[in-house]
Structures are given as C-alpha cells and as structure tokens.
Structure 1
Amino acid sequence: MNDSRDRRTVQEILIFPDGQTVPVKDVEPRRVRRRRPVHTAYLWSLGLFIATCLSTWWVGERRYDDGFGYMVPVMAILLAHEMGHYLVSIFYRVPASPPFFLPMPISPLGTFGAVIVKPGGGEDRKKLFDIAIAGPLAGLVIAIPVCIYGAITAEPVPIADVPADDFQFIAPPLLKWIVDAVRGGWPPGMVLESAVLDAGWVGIFITALNLIPIGQLDGGHILYALLRKRAHAVAGALIFGALAYMFLSGNLSFILMLMLIIMMGPYHPPTADDYVPLGWFRVILGCITLPFIFIGFTPTPIAIGG
C-alpha cells in the first residue's frame, strides 16, 4: 500500500480580484539536508590528547624545567603505540574507537597511557594477533631511539645530591644495556638526569606492562592468538604468582592494576574464528615479542631519593 502523502506537491497559484485562481507551477517540497552527527568520540580523543600533552608538559616542567623535552617524546611514543592498533584495525575493517589518552598530572609519569575501545569478538585469530602486536612494536620504534638519545645527553648527578623526597625511575635491563652501550657503563655512584631519558623509560615501561599476557592487555591478545584457550592456564598462573609475590615481598606497586585486570576479566574471550592459521612468521614474532617483559619491566619501578 502506498501513502499518497509521500507524493504531495506544493501548488503555487495566482488569485485574481474576481476570485478566480490559476495554478502557476507545481513545486516539489524542499528536502531538508540533515547535518551529519558530530563524531563525539573523535572530539573526546582530541580533547584528551591535548589534556595529556598539558599533563606531561607540566610534569616535565616541574621535575626537569624542560616540559617539552619530556612531553614530546612521551606523547610520540604513546601516539605511535595507539595508532599502530588503530590503523591495523582500520585495515582489517574491525570497528574501533580512536585512542583515548589518559592524563594524570599528579603521577610521576603524567599519564596513565591510552586505550582504544572496540567490541570483542569482531576479529578472527590472525586479525587479533596483528592488531595487538602492532601497538607495542610501533611504540618501541620510537622509544628505543629516544632512550639512546637520552642516555647520550643525560647529566650524571651524585646520588648524595638527590633530595630525600625526590623519586628516581629504576632502569630495567634494556635501559641498562643502552646506557652501557652508549656511555661505556653506568656512572658509578651516579643517577642520570634527563627529561628525554625518563621519557624513553616511560615508553619502555608502558610497553612492557601492556605485554603482560593476561586478559585484555596486548600480551593477553597475543598469547591467546598463539595458544587459544590454553592461554587461560598461563593467565591464571601469572595472576596467582603476582599475588604471591606481592604478599611475600610486601611490594604492592601493582595491586591496583592487578585488581583492574581481574575486574575486566583475566581470561581472554574467543575470537570470531579461533582456528584461522597464523603462519610461522607470526608465531616466531609473537614468541620474540612476549618475552620483552623480562627486559623492559621492573617489579619496583620507582624509588624515593637516591
């Protein structure tokens, strides 16, 4: 059944003094152009990016008197990491939000990193692997040169001169190797002060955290793509081991993060197709990338004083 109202026209007429009317033309009703809705997700992404730039600049200015020297490399590393995820998601036509950066000016880092929101199960095993691993690899492409430059330009300061209420980032093995390579060894009895070097440390540390193979972290995605449901046993063992370590050592540095992981779900959900073959190259790449946590992570990342 057709609705005649859908085909109505507007009739223009001339009215003469004697009341006679003469139609002039039939005019189709004007079509009202609807404006496309504003993509609020992109506005939020841009706003949070600017806020995180200001947050990291403020931390750099307060600690090093070099806000841009800290902000620029930190944001470049974070942006490379998140755009690695985002661009590969677009390539595979997997729905994903733009990156949402997390400012935190009261923390030593000035940021809690960034996240991308996407519906689970929208990708198969191979797509999951590629999207997950693209972020850490892209971030390291920026972070490692930043660490090298920072190690070269860092200023050695005697530990005795470090204020008792100041904090120092504890170098993971990778950063120690970089300092040894470019400076011929870590200066004995010294700490290295550099906004750029600390920015590189942030990039290495955040990458290592993301590669922990649990739940919805990048490492959790990669491990699930490699082992499928067998990854659940690894995630459970890691959570139990982390809780045991914190209980026995009294080091509760990561208790909040661990609780968040447990609340979000420590076990990775299935993909759209868990049986798509990865191929030998992805298997080798995943096996090389996941152990990065052993050289980029440190259980006690921050120490107070020298």
Structure 2
Amino acid sequence: MDQPVGKHECLACGHTDYRMTNSPIGELFEESCPKCEGDMLVQSRGEIPEKLETVKRSVDEHFKIWDFKLSVENMEFLVESDDQKKSFSNLLDDLRNVGYIARLVESRKGLSIQVEKSPEVGKSNVWINVGLLFATIATTFGVAGYWFLYGKNVLNAALFSLSLMTVLAAHELGHKISAWKNRVEASWPYFIPIPHPFIGTLGAVIKNKSPIPSREALAELGASGPLLGFFLAIPITFTGLIFSQPTGGETFLLGHSVSQSLPMPLIYILFEKSIFGYIPTALSPHPLAWSGFIILLVTWLNLLPTGQLDGGHIARSLLNQNKHFILTRTIGFALLFLTLIWNGFLILALFILFIVGNPHPGALDNVSKLKNSHKILAVSSLIVFILCFPIPLWIF
C-alpha cells in the first residue's frame, strides 16, 4: 500500500524524519520536532531511505498503517489489525531477520507500533556457569551437608545436596525451556553458592538477554520454573517427612532449635499433620525433608508478585506497569508490617523495596490480552504461592 510521504527537517537542530503527509515542499510545521520542539520544514516528498523502507514494508504487510513517523533513531506507526496478536507476532519474526524489534502499545491516538534497532546480545562465558555449579555442589554437599548438618555422614549429605540441586536445576530448566519456546535469549543458570551451615546455596538465576515478546511468554517464563520445582519438591518433601522423627522437644538442626526462628511453608505443615496426626514442634528433619523445606520457601519467595521476580513476571502479564508497580510497593510495605510476626520479613521487605522493586517494563506486546490457558497458569501459580506461604509455628 502506497502512502504519501514527506521528508521533514528541523530548522533548529537538524533532526530529520519521514512522515505520512500530503503537505507540499516548503511547508512549515511549528514546534513539531520531537527532539527540540523546533520548527520542521518539508524538504522533499515521495522517497524513504531503503533501511527505513524495509521496516515500513514489514509493518505494512501485517497491519493497516494510518500514520507514521520514521527516523534513524526510532520509528512509530499508527496501525490497526483484525488479529493484532498474530499480526504482531509475525511482524516480530520479520523484524528479527533485519535487526529490529518492535513494541505494541496503546497510545492516545490508538494502536501504535514502536520500532528500534535490536539491542546487542552479549555472549556468556559458560565456564562461569560450570564453575558456579561445582562450587554450589561443594557448599551444599561439603559445607552444609557433610561438615555441619549431618556430622560427616556421606549418605545424608549426598541426599540433601542431590535433592536440593536436582530441584533447583529443574526450576531453572523450566525457565530455559520456556525461553527457547518463546525465542527469548537467555543465559544458562548461574547457581549461587554460599558457605552457610543450613542451606549451602541461595538458589540460581537465569538472565534474560533479549526482550520478552508477549504477555503469554511473560506468564510462561515466570510460572515454568516455580511450578516445575514445586511439583518435584512435593514427593521429595513428603518422603523426607515420613523418615523424619519427632524428638520430643524442639525442631533441631545442628543441635539447635529452629521452630521459633523459621516459619514453615503451609503445605509442609499440612504434610506433617497428615503423617504424624499433629503439627510437631519437635521434628528432626530427614535430609530430603530439609531440602524440600528450603525449596518450598524459595518457591514462595520467587512467586512474590513483585518487581522482576518470577511472580512479578506473572503479575505483570495481567496488570499494566503502573498497577503492577503499586502492587510491588504495597507488598514491600506489607512485609515491613509482618516483621511484627517474624523479623526475617524485614530483609525481604528491604530487598523488594530497594533492589527488585523498580517498574517492570513488561512484554513487547503490552496490549493483547492473555489466553484463558495462561490465566489458568497464573491461577495455578497463585495456588502454589499460597501453599508455600511461610507460617511461624508459634501462632498455633
């Protein structure tokens, strides 16, 4: 489809762009420059540079263009489509091949596509991932399991480390598969070793190195890891609790009581009730039960619907940026209040408010609605979040 085009140049700063217009050469547009608000003059008509024309043809193939403004720095098209979700997905595929990305947004004028050069994807050094993996095995097996938790019992240390590392790896594999499926460039997992006597690790993270294309992809990327990790943690935790022994006193690790200092995930408490007939405050956990306990708490933490945590991805797929930012701040301050119940919530509140609490950019397609299947995925994640909610035992 051919549209009338005019080349505009700012008389103040020299910025040049191309716009859909029937205005004759020499016509002046006052305060129309997007950079300095200077006056723009129609310099010529009818031709667009080939690089910009390539992008325009791709947009024109998938959308009806009502208006556009093109420059070397960025391009914007006012469009419409009978199936905007499918049209935008196809457009993204076309633009990837020529080194561009696009965002679909709702502007004051209507549906808008914003196009810019694709950011460069940095190369990862896989040996860092391998090194951190072996370091985390060392801290979970050697430091926490063998040296501190289980008195140099190799079998118990191995059960603890293997079960913990397996579920963490499954969690990150879920993210990685989802990234592959949705054509998101992502690193291999970075495991986080810590020589802590109880846990040996702070989990693992995967870095997304390219924008997330759609709200569906955002929901999948957020939910895939926690859900897969949760479903693996369930049989591990239940089996571990079967082999755990009430001690008749307090809950012991390293010979010290932890029942008054650590809250228990709700499903952990339900499992204890079903196995023992009551909620023991005197449980000496089997290695599988303790690794399951850690995973359930990590799952709850990841599913907090804040910032760019896994739960934040899911919540952002359902909410616009402003509403999600308000939700993030609200949860952060709510956790500050919950320090009255357990002082460990203070660190988490500060983490949300000052580290991961920035506004979430969302997906490239921030307009199209979620499919019902992905809404079910979000509800499933909420159920898991509730089941993993940590509850201090002293309230019972």
Letter in 1 for 2:134: I
Q: Where does the alignment leave 5 or more consecutive residues of structure 1 unmatched?
A: 1-38
Offset at 1:120? 6.0
The question of 1:132 aligning with 2:222 is answered: yes
2:144 paired residue among 59, 62, 71: 59
Offset at 1:234? 1.5
Q: Is the contact between residue 267 and residue 387 of structure 2 (CA under 8 Å) also seen in structure 1?
A: yes
Summarize the Cα distance change of 1:146–1:126 in structure 2 as closer, same or farther, 3 Å threshold: same
Greater shift in the superposed pair: 115-124 or 280-289:
115-124
Q: Is the contact between residue 213 and residue 221 of structure 1 (CA under 8 Å) also seen in structure 2?
A: yes
The question of 1:198 aligning with 2:297 is answered: no
Q: Is the contact between residue 219 and residue 313 of structure 2 (CA under 8 Å) also seen in structure 1?
A: yes
Query: What residue in structure 1 maps to residue 333 of structure 2?
Result: 240
Query: What residue in structure 2 maps to residue 167 of structure 1?
Result: 258
In structure 1, what is the Cα distance between the partners aligned to 2:130 and 2:268?
Answer: 31
In structure 2, what is the Cα distance between the partners aligned to 1:205 and 1:199?
Answer: 10
Q: Is the contact between residue 297 and residue 389 of structure 2 (CA under 8 Å) also seen in structure 1?
A: yes
Post-superposition CA distance 1:37-84 (Å, at most 9, x none): xx7532111111111111111212221232111101110110000110
Q: Is the contact between residue 244 and residue 283 of structure 2 (CA under 8 Å) also seen in structure 1?
A: no
Query: What residue in structure 2 maps to residue 256 of structure 1?
Result: 347
Matches within 5 A, 1:111-126: 111-119=201-209, 121-126=211-216
Matches within 5 A, 1:202-213: 202-213=294-305
The question of 1:144 aligning with 2:234 is answered: yes
Q: Is the contact between residue 265 and residue 391 of structure 2 (CA under 8 Å) also seen in structure 1?
A: no
Q: Is the contact between residue 212 and residue 364 of structure 2 (CA under 8 Å) also seen in structure 1?
A: yes
Summarize the Cα distance change of 1:177–1:165 in structure 2 as closer, same or farther, 3 Å threshold: closer
Offset at 1:250? 7.7
The question of 1:49 aligning with 2:133 is answered: yes
Letter in 2 for 1:221: H
In structure 1, what is the Cα distance between the partners aligned to 2:342 and 2:251?
Answer: 26
Q: Where does the alignment leave 5 or more consecutive residues of structure 2 unmatched?
A: 1-122
1:98 paired residue among 179, 188, 194: 188
Matches within 5 A, 1:63-102: 63-64=149-150, 65=153, 66-102=156-192
When the two structures are aligned, how many residues end up with a matched partner?
Answer: 261
SS of the residue 1:158 aligns to? coil
Post-superposition CA distance 1:221-264 (Å, at most 9, x none): 00010123322222121112122333xx2844143343333233
In structure 1, what is the Cα distance between the partners aligned to 2:159 and 2:365?
Answer: 45
In structure 1, what is the Cα distance between the partners aligned to 2:335 and 2:198?
Answer: 23
Summarize the Cα distance change of 1:98–1:209 in structure 2 as closer, same or farther, 3 Å threshold: same
Summarize the Cα distance change of 1:130–1:251 in structure 2 as closer, same or farther, 3 Å threshold: same
Summarize the Cα distance change of 1:279–1:228 in structure 2 as closer, same or farther, 3 Å threshold: same
In structure 2, what is the Cα distance between the partners aligned to 1:182 and 1:118?
Answer: 41
**TM-score if structure 1 supplies the norm length?**
0.77
Summarize the Cα distance change of 1:269–1:40 in structure 2 as closer, same or farther, 3 Å threshold: closer
SS of the residue 1:67 aligns to? helix
In structure 1, what is the Cα distance between the partners aligned to 2:213 and 2:391?
Answer: 33
SS of the residue 1:101 aligns to? strand
In structure 2, what is the Cα distance between the partners aligned to 1:160 and 1:113?
Answer: 27
In structure 2, what is the Cα distance between the partners aligned to 1:161 and 1:181?
Answer: 18
Matches within 5 A, 1:281-292: 281-292=373-384
Task: State the identity %.
Answer: 28
In structure 1, what is the Cα distance between the partners aligned to 2:210 and 2:358?
Answer: 14
Offset at 1:106? 2.1
Summarize the Cα distance change of 1:225–1:118 in structure 2 as closer, same or farther, 3 Å threshold: same
In structure 2, what is the Cα distance between the partners aligned to 1:244 and 1:170?
Answer: 16
2:320 paired residue among 222, 228, 232: 228
Higher fraction of strand: 2
Offset at 1:299? 5.8
SS of the residue 1:238 aligns to? helix
The question of 1:154 aligning with 2:244 is answered: yes
CA RMSD of aligned residues (A): 2.4
Offset at 1:111? 0.7
Post-superposition CA distance 1:73-100 (Å, at most 9, x none): 1101100001100111012210111000
Q: Is the contact between residue 149 and residue 197 of structure 2 (CA under 8 Å) also seen in structure 1?
A: no
Higher fraction of helix: 1
